[in-house]
A and B are shown apart, each in its own frame.
Chain A
Amino acid sequence: MNKLVVKERIARVAMYLSIAAVILLVGSIIWTVFKRGARSLTWEMVSSLPGGGFYIGKSGGFLNAIVGSLYIVLSSTAIGLIISIPVVFFLNVYLKSKSRLAYVARLAFDVLFGIPSIVYGAFAFTLMIYFGLRTSLLGGILVETLLIIPILIRSMDEVAKNFPRDLLEASFSLGATRWETMGVVMRQIAPGIATATLLSVGRSIGDAAGVMFTAGFSDTIPTSLSQQTATLPLSIFFQLSAPQAEVQNRAYAAAVVLTIIVLVISLLGRFITNRFSKHKLR
């Protein structure tokens, strides 16, 4: 009997330690990034371009990276949504729930979700060479779109799967076609679309391996799709490997900005799932 109590105690201690480790790690990561970056983060940094030379100039900031990331993330999310909403709709409304195609499709998107972004990058790079494209903003948008489509589809699909079948049947019985029923479905899965969007924004804004091959790097804000562009993760990565302390400080400051953006997105996602589920029938 005593042995059991001891075992229980040991297990409990191990669990408390694990939980403490998780919390501590989160704290440590955020605290480290903020502490190191806060001393060099100034308004000038987020609002000006890097001065002089290929990201090794000592003055200036990283506005180019912020804007570049925004360009890539916003356009790839928009394109991704346009492609993935119909797919989700097709899987859940047009296909029967036991359809083989739906099964294979879900599996395929799960698998695509797991493919590392460096592989996407390498593949997109060969594709771009094949089509005669150079590393450019357009390339970055393309690779990020490919990267987030599986995320968008799978996370919206999780919500759409729980969509009440009776609502569909009510709509059909009123004589609506499947296409016209889309309005009903859209309203129901709207919070799901919002969280999926935030999820993919978070993923694509932090992705460095994919854009490394395809978007390149530059010191200026791109003015056309065919120009190279900087992105936040890459600007952190490149500037950290520079020997000058000023440039490294800029990288740490950029890390703070990126962390803040990601934290806000993550919190917003949680808020939306908790709050805006009022249209949902249960």
Chain B
Amino acid sequence: MSNLRIIKDRTASGAMRTVTIVALAFVLVMGWGLYRKSAPILSEIPLWDLLTDSTWQPFKNKFGFFPFVMGTIWVTLIAVVIALPLSLFTAVFLTEYARRWVKKCVYPALDILASLPSVIYGVWGTLVIVPWISDRLAPYFVSFSSGYTTLAAGIVLSIMILPLLVSLFVELFSSVGNDLRDSSYALGATRWQTAQSVVLRKSMPGVFASVVLAVSRALGETIAVLMVCGNMAAVPHSVFDACYPIPALIANNYGEMLSLPMYESALMFAALLLFVVVLVFNLASRLVLRKIERK
């Protein structure tokens, strides 16, 4: 009888170990699969040329990813520039200043922001942000803009990464010891001084890691960005130009690509590029955040 129980326990242990290891191996399988699929294009065009060439004519076998890479960088940069101050102030307020009832209102709001699907952000972007840019904002700067611009994509994206940033920051700031705050107050520092030169300074590495994590989230956002960015395969020269980030490229061409093997390979290369960048960013920021958590 007791033998059976031990066998049961051992079997379960083995099975669970297998499941865990298979799940782990999935990261590698994914990278390997995407690499295999993009191997044809990598063997034909050198990596550097793929990334820096800006002619995108798949039917003439010309695959230059430069416009898409630039589109992604622009959109992500705008998103971070908008979301960073907003989330820093929000998080400092929530941890250092806010009363209980304020927190009770703000946290559910952030929850909702975090849970809304990408496509809803896209709908909101096309209904609110796009017309606002084309009617109100753009006329001050350029003669005409459809509203479907790099800026619109950046704004929508900034709101999508906002809840992630705030929750990471709140966690960081509340892990700063109260003794540090008390000593700062004891020296006669104001609240803001304490927040700025004690809490913020203490959590600087974590803030940096959180931003990297948010960037990696922003890089992969597809549908919402696709709906407002304008989808023009050209390098944007101002925030009022349309752009075409990498995820949008993949999503827009998925049916078409099957007709040309090289085209398919190019899109899989785009996915591989995204995978590698996100993987590296994620790994780096998680390692830093974990180290902080352990302290």
Contact = CB atoms under 8 A, between A and B. Distances in A.
B25 to A, nearest CB: 9
Interface stretch (B13-21, B51-59, B138-146): B13-21
Contacts of B43: none
Interface residues of B, number: 84
B112 A111 contact: no
B47 interface: no
A52 interface: no
B27 to A, nearest CB: 5
Contact of B220 (A5, A19, A119, A240): A119
Given A15-B97, A122-B271, A115 B279 contact: yes
A205 B283 CA distance: 27
B212 to A, nearest CB: 11
A263 interface: yes
Contacts of A266: 111-112, 115
B242 interface: no
- Interface bracket on A: 35 or more
B213 interface: yes
B109 A33 contact: no
A259 B120 contact: yes
Interface stretch (B63-71, B84-92, B172-180, B232-240): B84-92
Nearest to A86: B16
Given A19-B102, A115-B278, A233 B118 contact: yes
B210 interface: no
A90 B192 contact: no
B116 A112 contact: no
Interface of B: 5-6, 8-9, 12-13, 15-17, 19-20, 23-24, 26-27, 30, 33-34, 37, 85-87, 89-90, 92-93, 97, 102, 105-106, 108-113, 115-124, 126-128, 159, 162, 166, 190-193, 195-196, 213, 216-217, 219-223, 227, 247, 250-251, 254, 267-268, 271, 274-275, 278-279, 281-283, 286-287, 290
Contact of B162 (A22, A94, A259): A22
Nearest to A233: B119
Contacts of A230: none
B29 to A, nearest CB: 9
A130 to B, nearest CB: 8
B289 to A, nearest CB: 9
B16 A89 contact: yes
8 contacts: A7-B190, A32-B124, A90-B19, A101-B20, A110-B286, A117-B220, A208-B119, A233-B223
B254 A125 contact: yes
A111 B27 contact: yes
B5 A180 contact: yes
Interface in A1-46: 4-5, 7-8, 11-12, 14-19, 21-23, 25-26, 28-30, 32-33, 36
A179 B8 contact: yes
Nearest to A205: B117
Contacts of A202: 115
Contacts of A109: 23
B216 A114 contact: yes
A59 to B, nearest CB: 22
A114 B20 CA distance: 18
A111 B16 contact: no
A86 B86 contact: no
Interface in A159-194: 177-180
Interface in A56-100: 83, 86-87, 89-91, 94
Given A116-B219, A119-B275, A259-B120, A22 B268 contact: no
Nearest to B105: A23
Contacts of B122: 237
Contacts of B223: 208-209, 233, 237
Contact of B90 (A19, A110, A146, A207): A19
